[in-house]
Structure 1
């Protein structure tokens, strides 16, 4: 019997709701479906009996307070998760439950067997023998990123309310939009949230404790071509598509996500669309060092300038903007927040895994706003696609960690 009876039903109800964000939107949140979901969380928090429950229309965050149940004043902890899912089909999510998973078996996701979870392709599956796994049906993502975190925080709140013998200080919770498109934390109100430190519950496998992330920039390339009939094109035509190919080929071939790991950064081409007359390319640029990010951006400018040399007017235009920076720049001065999470995990028999995040979290931005916010594991694997899955047992351990952090802080 599971320790947290409401965790699985809550998670399943969350993932069945489409909350995909939209990077082309100009609203906050970027999609109305997130607003609908966030307002449902408002009601759930009120039903639990939390205080100061509100939806902030300026930034799209739902926040609430679980008041301290002891006289002694201790620091206020925040726990945060995002409700949006990534740019993969999120309509009609039909989660499947695999009881007592055999780590050596192949799990067919769809009835036709076109998509399978095979340990030969996904070795992490071997860690989950005997677990209850929640998977997709092969046609959508699951949404464990970050509905797992949302469900775990809600479950922890309910457990603390049902078990007043567990002493804790003031706990603030926040559920926000648009993390997957990199804008969700832009307007987060640190003063209004009023916590001394916080944790995002948005990591992957058991034990992840992350306080170092990429520094990140976005790159948009717009290429103006000149389209004439190919029969008379010599010396006149400028093929925007070919210039795009030349731009991509001028970047370091080995510095792409599929060829890097550890602390190596990359250039990642997300989209390439166009015609002879005009083409557009979208990239993300990642590096763990701020100087490394600057060098990568300088290389982009150099490549564009080189491609423009033969033309009387520039044909290749680049636009870059920084998205977030490595949170270790802030966290190095707040390692007590990390150490509290370490102590909680060790007390629960969990080995902390503090490898740098090859990505970012809302905590990256929020830490630079003045609220130190490292990232805790939420359990998801293979996130952002049809092969996503999560272990119920790992989700339960994530709830354990939230509870233990709260308890240790109270001591």
Structure 2
């Protein structure tokens, strides 16, 4: 039985004169008895889609149906667990959990009974009268789960619910959730999990849906037919993790994304870029992405912007779940600091037209107010993204010695010959 269905869902955000399509033509289903993981790049529309599916924001195109009924707002039978704990600090655990039942008009005694049952279900019995500040992060997230489960949802939406926790706490909470699910101790009949953690998706889900493109759509569905409990060291487990990595780093997807909007720059610090290039160079110039992420202690949302930046600058190629340094990338990873700066400057001017344009203006005028650059960017993209791009330009350009920045007057200028960028 299909619990939830999205048909041709689209969403566009407008900021001033800038119109940005986020989702387009999204089709998906969540069937009874399954956990579905939704993955994609950071800023790729995962959380927006989840909120549309849960009825928290409306789609601009298409429709969502829950048990055959069109979703036009939050509906009974749905509940959400958020990334942040989002607890009211002045309310006790019991009061936070019972809060969602007040709107349903249940008597106080009934609200308290059900809240206590939900608290016990998530392993917090004895903490009913504690305030959130008295709880650890893992315990606060358990309160978040109890608050969602107390309304007896048939479908549970989860927006990266484990990402704010340390790895051991997150692993324990995932195992407890899976135990509840397999034992059928809740009313929940389907779960849709947004995650950036590929190992988490393979550990929990029956299917993984990967959002691709801009605007995003469901580009690929990856079945996960492994029995529980699942061993992360199992070859089949690793093969599925690598399949998701490969999907998110497909050559045509990377090239299309870089070509469609040359103004947008990945959020990647120079220090992290050089560190990753050096790490890949130590591995012989080529590395398997899942193993690289594990060895360098990088989450997907940290790794992918760095890979995008290395590709954008012509220092690496990513395909089939692997990254390989170009000849220039290998030189970057093996050079001393001064040579790294020179290589970075050369590739920055060659591969980032926006930096080349800014550098030409500085050569002609000597200086340029930051405000003018920001206004130019804001006419072409949302303000928050414009500020991000400006920050990347400033950091990359200063490291490369292509520009300097006067903090006090907030303007760009050419570095003095003796000035250290």
Fold-level similarity (TM above 0.5): no
- Whose radius of gyration is greater, 1 or 2? 2
Higher helix share: 2
Q: Shorter-chain-normalised TM-score: which range?
A: under 0.3
- Asked which structure has the greater RCO (Cα within 8 Å, sep 6+), the reply is 1
What TM-score do you get using the length of structure 2 for normalisation?
0.25
What TM-score do you get using the length of structure 1 for normalisation?
0.25
